[in-house]
Amino acid sequence: MAKKKQSEKDRVIIFDTTLRDGEQSPGATMTVNEKLQVAQQLARLNVDVIEAGFPFASPGDFEAVQLISRHVHGPTIAGLCRTEKADIERAWNAVKDADRNRLHTFIATSPIHMKKKLGKTPKQVVKMAQDAVARCRRFTDNVEFSCEDATRSELDFLCEIVEKAIDAGATTINIPDTVGYAMPQEFIVMLRELISKVPNSNKAIFSTHCHNDLGLAVANSLAAIVSGARQVECTINGLGERAGNASLEEIVMALRTRPDIMKPWTGIVTTEIYRTSRLVARVTGINVQPNKAIVGSNAFAHEAGIHQDGMLKDKRTYEIMDADSIGLSKSNLVLGKHSGRHAFIDKLNEIGYELDSAQINKAFAEFKNLCDKKKAVSDHDIMSIVEDEIMHIPETFKLISVNVMCGGRVKATAMIEMYVGDSKVEEAAIGVGPVDSVYQCIRKITGEDIQLVDFSVKSVTGGIDAIGEVTVRIAGDDKNIFTGKGGSVDIIEASAKAYTTAINKMIFWRENENRREADSGKTPEKKSAKKKKTKKKTKKAGAKAKK
């Protein structure tokens, strides 16, 4: 397909909200460092705006937004805030150090939200919106205003509030389909009318933010673009509240694949899509369904004989996009035990990872370990090693060895050796199966009372010596969910690694929460009780270590 000339007026701003709305997905809790890793990858993907979080929501959110603002260069960093003064000030303090920042303030505009949720009249809501935008403008000239639940709002009221928000200084107006209710044909008309009726609409960029409750988030986002929206808010892998948000990769690739009927374009470096999707899946523990468009493992697989025959004759018979265009490397250049450090570094560069020398050393050592177990190490294996390495979760508990006896009439029995800090600890436990016995053992060593919420295994590469990747989701006593992944050619070992990683993450999280509370001088009774509990647990694990 011949490439058409791209004009600036058709550039669609990609506003990524994986770290804010995406993080609101049940169980998608990320540590501050994981959020930073994701933000750095989003910068490589070249998104225009990163909504890094909702700083007023918690000290952890504030810290993540501030860290991202200070360390991620390229994209504009946005902080979400409601219309209240304290909310706006907190968001500003979190984003003020970014090279480019944005305040994103919102209020609900639908009759049901105004009446039932806010208990405000439409007149009061308009005033709150105007005041909030004006307050944001005192800090920055990049202000976005969102009409929450816009698609269930009355058009005349929307026109009024949007006009006043623009007058107050909003530079982006976002029209969200908050509950995923709109139909594309209806959304096209609504947005077109809104833009044409608002007298000062030329002073702002119109945006949309669609949820996927009816599976129409991407279709509605494209419909908004047809009507003149030049910003879309979306997430990697379509993460987000309930059924999720519009998926970034689907919108971007739809525009890229059909320039013949849609002139709008994005500045996304599409070859970073696959890597970004993997990273987000890894840190959130929410795997992508195999048949997910663009990034699912089957998206470029052709099983049926008739398809394979066509593909061999000409790829375009069944493939509308090239797998290379999303960075799905097809290089089969595998490494093995004779590959040296140079070859390993070359491979890292080829698949696009930049590691510092300490990280390279650790990753190389892991690679050599893997070579002892596996003849041919593929790109996917290396991605797994590197993703583990860049997460930097401190290892309070470090696995040394896992042994299990099971099968037939033998009761599954695990024996585990672990470092708890600097001390070596050994434990044994019996379980209903091999994984259960391993998990009982780890619980005994760590002294943590954990509930296993989810457990899944998948093979990272093909073949009998494929790495099995286990993902677990656990809930601690405060009911927060933490994920851990572990890879090994031995699935039981991978299961132990995943569980230990999730526990380390939970402890790291808890320690950070305690530190943030101490820093902010907040020690409510409930929290200090929790702190005592943490101390008691660490003591318990330490006592075991001395045995």
Which residues of the shown chain bind Zn ion in the complex (CB under 5 A)? 21
Burial (CB count <10 Å: 0-12, 13-18, 19+), residue 89: middle
Specify whether the CB–CB gap between 151 and 177 falls below 8 A. Answer: yes
CA distance 145 to 172: 6
State which of positions 210-229 bind ligand KIV (CB under 6 A).
Answer: 211
Cβ neighbours of 200 (radius 10 Å): 12
Specify whether the CB–CB gap between 136 and 102 falls below 8 A. Answer: no
CA distance 18 to 30: 11
For the chain, the C-alpha Rg in angstroms (whole number) is 25
- The piece of 132-140, 174-182, 305-313, 513-521 that touches ligand KIV (CB under 6 A) is 174-182
Task: Using alpha carbons, select from 139, 226, 126, 110 the residue that is nearest to residue 166.
Answer: 126
Which of 62, 106, 187, 397 lies at the binding interface for ligand KIV (CB under 6 A)? 106
Find which of Zn ion, ligand KIV, none residue 381 binds, CB within 5 to 8 Å per kind: none
Q: At what angle do helices 341-351 and 379-390 cross, to 10 degrees?
A: 90
Min CB(401)–ligand KIV separation in Å? 47
Min CB(232)–ligand KIV separation in Å? 12
- Residue 62 or 364 having the CB closest to ligand KIV: 62
The residue count for binding ligand KIV (CB under 6 A) is: 9
Min CB(147)–ligand KIV separation in Å? 8
- Residue 157 or 419 having the CB closest to ligand KIV: 157
Specify whether the CB–CB gap between 136 and 107 falls below 8 A. Answer: no
Which of 66, 146, 151, 277 lies at the binding interface for ligand KIV (CB under 6 A)? 146
Task: Using alpha carbons, select from 79, 47, 48 the residue that is nearest to residue 63.
Answer: 79
CA distance 191 to 197: 10
If one asks whether residue 208 binds ligand KIV (CB under 6 A), the answer comes out as no
If one asks whether residue 61 binds ligand KIV (CB under 6 A), the answer comes out as no
- Residue 77 or 383 having the CB closest to ligand KIV: 77
Find which of Zn ion, ligand KIV, none residue 285 binds, CB within 5 to 8 Å per kind: none
Q: What is the CA 55 to chain-centroid distance, rounded?
A: 17
Q: Give the DSSP letter string of 270-292.
A: GGGHHHHHHHHHHHH--PPPTT-
Q: Classify residue 120 by its DSSP letter.
A: -
- Residue 21 or 469 having the CB closest to Zn ion: 21
Min CB(310)–Zn ion separation in Å? 40
Find which of Zn ion, ligand KIV, none residue 105 binds, CB within 5 to 8 Å per kind: none
Quickly count helices (H) and strands (E) in the chain. 17, 14
Task: Find the angle CA(289)-CA(292)-CA(296) to the nearest 5 degrees.
Answer: 75
Which of 209, 292, 374, 473 lies at the binding interface for ligand KIV (CB under 6 A)? 209
CA distance 420 to 437: 19
Specify whether the CB–CB gap between 126 and 169 falls below 8 A. Answer: no
Find which of Zn ion, ligand KIV, none residue 148 binds, CB within 5 to 8 Å per kind: ligand KIV
Burial 146-178 (b: 16+ CB within 10 A, else e): bbbbbbbbeeebbbbbbbbbbebbbbbbbbbbb
- The piece of 133-141, 171-179, 324-332, 383-391 that touches ligand KIV (CB under 6 A) is 171-179
- Residue 243 or 453 having the CB closest to ligand KIV: 243
Which of 178, 266, 277, 461 lies at the binding interface for ligand KIV (CB under 6 A)? 178
Per-residue mark of binding to ligand KIV, 481-520 (x: CB under 6 A): ----------------------------------------
Task: Using alpha carbons, select from 546, 533, 81, 4 the residue that is nearest to residue 261.
Answer: 4
Q: Give the DSSP letter string of 450-475.
A: -EEEEEEEEESSSSTTPPEEEEEEEE
Task: Using alpha carbons, select from 481, 513, 522 the residue that is nearest to residue 64.
Answer: 513
Min CB(158)–Zn ion separation in Å? 17
If one asks whether residue 21 binds ligand KIV (CB under 6 A), the answer comes out as yes
- Residue 162 or 175 having the CB closest to Zn ion: 175
- The piece of 173-181, 290-298, 399-407, 412-420 that touches ligand KIV (CB under 6 A) is 173-181
CA distance 486 to 494: 5
If one asks whether residue 148 binds ligand KIV (CB under 6 A), the answer comes out as yes
Find which of ligand KIV, Zn ion, none residue 75 binds, CB within 5 to 8 Å per kind: none
- Residue 148 or 366 having the CB closest to ligand KIV: 148
Per-residue mark of binding to ligand KIV, 417-456 (x: CB under 6 A): ----------------------------------------
Min CB(106)–Zn ion separation in Å? 9
- The piece of 117-125, 170-178, 379-387, 504-512 that touches ligand KIV (CB under 6 A) is 170-178
Find which of ligand KIV, Zn ion, none residue 35 binds, CB within 5 to 8 Å per kind: none
Find which of ligand KIV, Zn ion, none residue 504 binds, CB within 5 to 8 Å per kind: none
If one asks whether residue 187 binds ligand KIV (CB under 6 A), the answer comes out as no
Which of 60, 176, 434, 486 lies at the binding interface for ligand KIV (CB under 6 A)? 176
What does the binding site for ligand KIV look like in residue numbers (CB under 6 A)?
A: 21, 106, 146, 148, 174, 176, 178, 209, 211
